[in-house]
Amino acid sequence: MPDGNNRIQVITINSSPLKTCLVNAYMPSLQVAGDLDYKDTLDQISEIIEKYKDSYQTIICGDMNASLHRDNRRRDQNLKEFMSNNNLSLANRYPKAPTFFHHNGKYTSQIDYIMFPETTTGILNSNIVIEDRHPTNTSDHTLVTANIPMKIDKTSTQLVKIYTRPNWAKCDKNIYTSTLKQELECESRRKRK
């Protein structure tokens, strides 16, 4: 899709009865200096929502670098206003748990979200899970997953391989090695059966 930039990725899903526009965002994180960038990025997402609202159900997800569970920070208020202005909400029974873990081990917050239009009642009942931290996850964020019921029409069979590079400075290498070894042994045993 032509929409998006280095902070916003947009993909469309050939789903029915309504097509889906998935907008993934990595919001600016710098305080004060990044507030203008933060508002600008929210405005860009609002434009994408407006562009696709008549023919797509739009799902917004990603690292919002703001929390819906605090009231004292400017960008928390900006995120809440953005959701209100675009008629977005969280799924019913959305879990409240940390999704970000500061490298110093002292601070956590819930700043990663999956948001849905309030008009799409079917997906508001989607099962959202905030995964536990896993030793092989070297990110300072944990996974937030959604099981969204939809029928998808297959349009392409091309496989894309994605390569990631672990952040070794933030990783407990002993736990990482041990966990990886266990998983490889389990996979090896499974293949022998």
Strand partners, 56: 19
Give the pLDDT score at 1. Answer: 47
CB 155 within 8 A of CB 15: no
Rounded Cα–Cα distance for residues 46 and 38 (Å): 12
Helix 74-85 with 35-52: angle, nearest 10 deg: 10
Comparing C-alpha atoms, which of 78, 142, 74, 84 is closest to residue 109? 142
Topology at the third CATH level for domain 8-192: Deoxyribonuclease I; Chain A (3.60.10)
CB 106 within 8 A of CB 138: no
pLDDT digits (tens, 9 = 90+) for 69-120: 987 788 999 999 999 999 999 988 889 999 998 888 888 999 999 998 888 7
Give the pLDDT score at 121. Answer: 61
- 107-112 long-range contacts, CB within 8 A, separation 24+: 109/67, 109/70, 110/67, 110/68, 110/69, 111/63, 111/64, 111/65, 111/66, 111/67, 112/61, 112/62, 112/63, 112/64, 112/141, 112/142, 112/144
Name the more confident of 3 and 17. Answer: 17
Q: The tokens of 119 are what? A: 């008009």
* Alpha helices (runs of H) in 33-153, residue ranges in sequence order: 35-52, 74-85, 121-124
pLDDT digits (tens, 9 = 90+) for 124-183: 667 888 998 888 888 889 999 888 888 888 766 677 777 777 777 777 788 888 888 888
The β-bridge relationship of strands 144-147 and 151-152 is unpaired
pTM equals: 0.76
